[in-house]
Structure 1
């Protein structure tokens, strides 16, 4: 979560804010922070901005909901979002950007309700300059676009569906571009210079905690939400609560998330050979289990034998949370008792 006034600070920062590091050796950020920014965060958001821009370009050429090229472009951009979706701090949290890209879970069905109203009213707001910025976040981003691409209900009114598809893809492109730009032009300098005038972080330890929290939250979201929601209870499994089941991406998103979290975890292990080996083994086991499910939308949660495999995967991820997170926290010097899911 952003510190107070951080949004205003980021907006006010000059674009020429230098990305140079402090001059004195004792002020230099540790390699783990530099590596996380250079190898994980910046390339992740750059890739997302690039694939989102391509998605918007494809929509301008062919906005038909069932067009394979459009679905593929959406899938590629969505892949890149999943790979950075655990980085919920800094530029992603400004102006509700993360929610505007990914409003899910949606336990009350707000997204289809809001989309239905837009269609019923033929609301012209989507065609006005910056109009999508005034639309509810429930009707923006990758999950809203999934309805237009994969739910026949939203493909009957071809003219409005086309206009809304183009508006949504342009909005996604603008939002992801802003996130990537803010990371490059301002937030990288802020996170690498804790204690400086504009930085929201008072110390390097706070930066480490931010990265550690992102890893912990990513694991929890995949376990509790991506797997927990479709699992429901044994008596009442809920397969249609799985993430992106309409497009058949539920299992795929779990695998992508685990691969991205694996990369961040290995960076945070700071080159400790034993810890790196343990982290690699734990994540590789989880990824292998996720891949072996052969259950794209977790429909198997209603079958006891297939459900067991999903539960075992969830237990494996929870074991990573319990064991490897503790080891990484000790390595980073995260204070005992620090809850990575707490706010600032």
Structure 2
């Protein structure tokens, strides 16, 4: 079953400038005068949104198990949570505590259907799982992919087993706990000790790393011409891989603009308005023309679909060139090492 939802990434990613006077200090980002403040505010808002959606997913899973909401409704909430995760996915820069938790949120790529095998084994055990139990298990059964398996895979017995429903409830509780840890970690700006040059390098590395991760989500399934690997696609069970990738690009755009205090502004201040315009135009064109009617898994089933997927991969390649090469050269900074390089 294909989940069809509108993508409201701008609302998800950009922190509102109108804060209620009743909001507690813990629900607003740390206020600093550092050059990173605009980017940090976007990251904080993304972490907050992800934690909220993970909480909602856990609450809705309990309702689903009680028969209070439908399977479509719990699938939609799962996808909303997945969409909110796209803003934080693939990061190699930022809060170390948040980065340490991110491995537990999503296991990908699943090269050998490890999630399927582990989840099949998990639900067959005569055990009432708790969130604490799940947190001690393999990452393959802890995160968004394991919940997707429960909700979409033909081997899942979620709809006919109270015990399996309880297992899913434990997994969503563990996910909510991890999301809260990520949100808590982002309550402090991790970049305030960096001088302007170091911050600029860190910022461009942040954008480059996340963009490269998104590109990996396409290049691995695309593989070699004539030999695609569709099961390497993210979220192939729910058929939402291309929707996810569109949100990835929207998230990068939000980080690039950073509420008017990001790299776009910096380039214009340095007299590089032409380059700034090119990057903005590439973001706009990529987002506006991104196909979401079919999943990447479906596209890779035909030559025409493969060509369409590859042409969109090239759009990400152009973004990478502009940010990783052109911006770095113009600003005279060195891009940091990306842990996904060479794998």
* Range of TM-score over shorter length: 0.7 to 0.9
Q: C-alpha offsets along residues 212-264 of structure 1, whole Å, 9 cap, x if unaligned?
A: 222112221222x2211221222212222211011010110111101111222
SS of aligned partner of 1:108: coil
Name 1:321's counterpart in structure 2.
320
SS of aligned partner of 2:186: helix
Name 1:257's counterpart in structure 2.
248
Aligned residues of 1:79 and 1:253 also touching (Cα < 8 A): yes
Q: What's the TM-score once normalised by structure 2's chain length?
A: 0.79
Aligned positions, number: 301
Give yes or no for the alignment of 1:310 onto 2:302: no
Name 2:237's counterpart in structure 1.
246
C-alpha deviation, 1:287, in angstroms: 2.0
Name 1:278's counterpart in structure 2.
278
C-alpha deviation, 1:323, in angstroms: 2.6
Q: What's the C-alpha RMSD, in Å, of the aligned pairs?
A: 2.6
In structure 2, which of residues 156, 163, 166 is the aligned counterpart of residue 163 of structure 1? Answer: 166
Is 87-96 or 206-215 further displaced after alignment?
87-96
Name 2:180's counterpart in structure 1.
177
Aligned residues of 2:201 and 2:333 also touching (Cα < 8 A): yes
Name 2:56's counterpart in structure 1.
54
Name 2:39's counterpart in structure 1.
36
Q: What's the TM-score once normalised by structure 1's chain length?
A: 0.79
Aligned residues of 1:66 and 1:150 also touching (Cα < 8 A): no
Aligned residues of 1:212 and 1:329 also touching (Cα < 8 A): yes
Aligned residues of 1:216 and 1:340 also touching (Cα < 8 A): no
Unaligned runs of 5+ in 2: 1-25
Aligned residues of 1:300 and 1:307 also touching (Cα < 8 A): yes
Question: Which aligned pairs between 1:6-85 and structure 2 lie closer than 5 A?
Answer: 19=30, 21=32, 29-30=34-35, 33-38=36-41, 40-63=42-65, 67-85=71-89
Q: Which has the higher helix share?
A: 1
Unaligned runs of 5+ in 1: 1-14, 22-27, 195-202
